[in-house]
Amino acid sequence: MSCIPRLTIMLRACGYRMTSQRHAILQALHDGGHLSPAQIYQRVESTGMTEATVYRTLEFLAENGILLVADRGNGHLAYELSGESHHHIICRTCGAQMEVDPALLAPAISQMESETGYHLNAGHLTFFGLCPLCKQKPQERA
């Protein structure tokens, strides 16, 4: 993917380094979308990388804004490349999910800002609910 060189420069500007491990994890997320640490490890295991390195690298990349952390509702976290801003909606019944335009929340957020005095980072939220299908037939679908 073409963003590796850009990220390399960005990291070096902060005194950090681009390593083969970071490269492999970024690549895995590039063609994997939202992935859990375990899923990512599967995809980079062949390089000999340690699980500890996967966790460390994900935390590092997230802290530096290169990755976004997402709540999957199962208590565990997922990671993804931080591209265009967005939020998520997940169906509590069937797990279906979709992305949401952050513009929909903008007015609510700016109102929260003016009422609380906080400066909010719109961020990357996850909303839970029922998808159109599960809204009808209450129980079906695992």
Partner DNA sequence: TTCCTTATTGATAAAATTATCAATAAGGAA
Partner DNA sequence: TTCCTTATTGATAATTTTATCAATAAGGAA
Pattern of binders to a copy of itself over 104-133, x per CB under 8 A? xx-xxx-xxx-xxxxxxx-x-x-xxxxxx-
Exposure string over 95-122, b if 16+ CB within 10 A, otherwise e: eebeeeebeebeeeeeeeeeeeeeeeee
Among 52, 104, 108, 142, the residue binding DNA under the rule CB under 7 A is 52
Q: Which is nearer to DNA, 22 or 87 (CB)?
A: 22
Q: Are the beta carbons of 125 and 88 closer than 8 angstroms?
A: yes
Q: Which is nearer to Mn ion, 5 or 33 (CB)?
A: 33
Q: Which is nearer to Zn ion, 58 or 91 (CB)?
A: 91
* Residue 54 neighbours by CB under 8 Å, 6+ apart: 25, 37, 40, 41, 44
Residue 59 φ/ψ, nearest 5 degrees = -65, -45
Give the range of 23-31, 32-40, 41-49, 92-100 binding a copy of itself by CB under 8 A.
92-100
Coil vs helix vs strand at 66: coil
Taking CB under 8 A as the rule, does residue 94 contact a copy of itself? no
Coil vs helix vs strand at 91: strand
Among 2, 6, 17, 118, the residue binding DNA under the rule CB under 7 A is 17
Q: Are the beta carbons of 14 and 64 closer than 8 angstroms?
A: yes
Q: Which does 130 bind (CB under 5 to 8 A by kind): DNA, a copy of itself, Mn ion, none?
A: a copy of itself
Residues of this chain that interact with DNA (CB under 7 A) are 8, 11-12, 15-22, 36-38, 47-53, 55-57, 59-60, 75-76
